């Protein structure tokens, strides 16, 4: 889909009229592009998922960037995703593309927010796109409890909520405060006027995204169960304790329980991973021969 020379409404209309790809067709197109650099296959894949790019771009309109520019950046992210997508991983293209589209749009928004850089680290990026929303939520919760938070308390709670250093919160607060205002402010002087918070779009996953995420998660679970089934009882125990627990066991503690040396447990773990890898490769070949 050509983006140059089209306004956002025209692009959105074209995107919504594009074909919907089933999993088998999507896979064939991805292989055709990866293995044969078939540009027609690439064009068809990108065109089919441009609606996803437009949908994600619309979530960033509140940052003041022109919608057409946001769609352009979303399209660039979609093309990057198509170029780097590996169909052998068994994941739907849309699931993979979401990350690239979002990253492309966020980078554009941050580059164009102001002449002063707002930050480039992962924590600063997370703060830029989430700080005011989290701040408004914390203020509402405090108000419902009859509490009033000062700036220091609020920044500390924001840091804990988002999981970033307090210094980054204080820095971002200073950079954003110049042009921001309370999201709880009303849009008019009327008592019944809506708060600006009410105009923010739901950033939750769309319906089709949830379905595809559930599909991918179930497929990954199936692969993991199949790979674990290829192990004997002792190997399976080691892999589960080492990799599938919230707190991984040490080689030494497993050795003490199994009556083995630390080095022997490490060898068994490495052998188990090799077995699992072969089992997964075998499953992948069966899927490809079926398709």
Q: Name the band, by pLDDT with cuts 50, 70 and 90, for residue 238.
A: very high
Q: Which of 52, 55, 48 is nearest to 22 (CA)?
A: 48
What is the Cα gyration radius of the chain?
A: 24
**What is the CA 197 to chain-centroid distance, rounded?**
23
Model pLDDT, residue 126: 72
Do 54 and 71 form a contact (C-beta atoms < 8 A)? Answer: yes
> What does the chain come to in residues?
291
Domain ranges of the chain: 8-112, 122-178, 230-290
Do 94 and 56 form a contact (C-beta atoms < 8 A)? Answer: no
Q: Residue 209 pLDDT more than 80?
A: no
CATH: 3.40.30.10, 1.10.357.10, 3.10.129.10, 1.10.10.10. Which one for 230-290? Answer: 1.10.10.10
What's the token pair of residue 93? 């293209």
The second-level CATH assignment, the architecture, of 8-112 is Up-down Bundle (1.20)
Residue 173 makes CB contacts below 8 A (sequence gap 6+) with: 131, 151, 155
Model pLDDT, residue 167: 82
Q: Which of 91-95, 112-116, 235-239, 248-252 has the lowest mean pLDDT?
A: 112-116
User: What pTM was estimated for this model as a whole?
Assistant: 0.46
Q: Residue 252 pLDDT more than 70?
A: yes
Do 169 and 155 form a contact (C-beta atoms < 8 A)? Answer: yes
Matching fold, domains 8-112 and 230-290:
no
Model pLDDT, residue 288: 41
Q: Residue 33 pLDDT more than 80?
A: yes
Model pLDDT, residue 198: 60
User: DSSP letters of the chain?
Assistant: ---TT--HHHHHHHHHHSPPPPHHHHHHHHHHHHHH--HHHHHHHHHHTHHHHHHHHHTTGGGS--HHHHHHHHHHHHHHHHHH--GGG---HHHHHHHHHHHHHHHHHHHHS-SS----SHHHHHHHHHHHHHHHHHHHHHHHTT----HHHHHHHHHHHHT--HHHHHHHHHHHTTT---TTSBSSSSTTPPBGGGGSPP-SPPHHHHHHHHHHHHHHHHHHHHHHHTS-HHHHHHHHHHHSSSSPPPHHHHHHHHT--HHHHHHHHHHHHHHHHHHHHHHHHHHHHH-
Q: How far apart are CA 8 and CA 53, in angstroms?
A: 12
Model pLDDT, residue 291: 32
Q: Which of 36-50, 51-65, 200-214 has the lowest mean pLDDT?
A: 200-214
Model pLDDT, residue 117: 47
Q: What is the mean pLDDT of residues 284-289?
A: 45
Q: Residue 4 pLDDT more than 60?
A: no
Q: How far apart are CA 261 and CA 142, in angstroms?
A: 54
Do 49 and 80 form a contact (C-beta atoms < 8 A)? Answer: no
Model pLDDT, residue 45: 92
**What is the CA 74 to chain-centroid distance, rounded?**
14
């Amino acid at each position: 889909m050509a983006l140059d020379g089209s306004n956002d409404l025209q692009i959105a209309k074209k995107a919504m009229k594009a074909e919907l790809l089933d999993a088998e067709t999507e896979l064939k197109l991805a292989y055709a592009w990866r293995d044969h650099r078939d540009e027609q296959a690439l064009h068809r894949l990108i065109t089919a998922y441009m609606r996803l790019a437009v949908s994600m771009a619309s979530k960033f309109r509140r940052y003041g960037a022109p919608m057409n520019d946001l769609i352009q950046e979303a399209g660039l992210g979609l093309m990057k995703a198509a170029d780097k997508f590996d169909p052998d991983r068994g994941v739907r293209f849309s699931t993979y593309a979401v990350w690239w589209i979002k990253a492309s749009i966020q980078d554009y928004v941050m580059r164009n927010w102001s002449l002063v850089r707002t930050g480039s680290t992962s924590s600063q990026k997370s703060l830029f796109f989430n700080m005011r929303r989290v701040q408004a939520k914390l203020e509402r919760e405090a108000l419902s409890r009859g509490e009033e938070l000062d700036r220091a308390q609020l920044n500390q709670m924001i840091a804990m909520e988002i999981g970033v250093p307090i210094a980054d919160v204080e820095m971002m607060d200073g950079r954003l405060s110049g042009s921001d205002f309370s999201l709880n402010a009303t849009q008019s002087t009327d008592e019944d006027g809506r708060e600006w918070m009410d105009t923010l779009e739901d950033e939750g996953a769309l319906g089709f995204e949830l379905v595809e995420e559930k599909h991918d998660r179930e497929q990954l679970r199936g692969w993991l169960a199949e790979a674990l089934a290829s192990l004997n009882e002792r190997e399976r125990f080691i892999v589960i304790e080492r990799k599938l627990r919230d707190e991984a066991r040490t080689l030494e503690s497993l050795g003490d329980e199994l009556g083995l040396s630390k080095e022997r447990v490490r060898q068994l773990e490495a052998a188990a991973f090799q077995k699992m890898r072969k089992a997964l490769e075998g499953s992948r070949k069966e899927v490809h021969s079926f398709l």
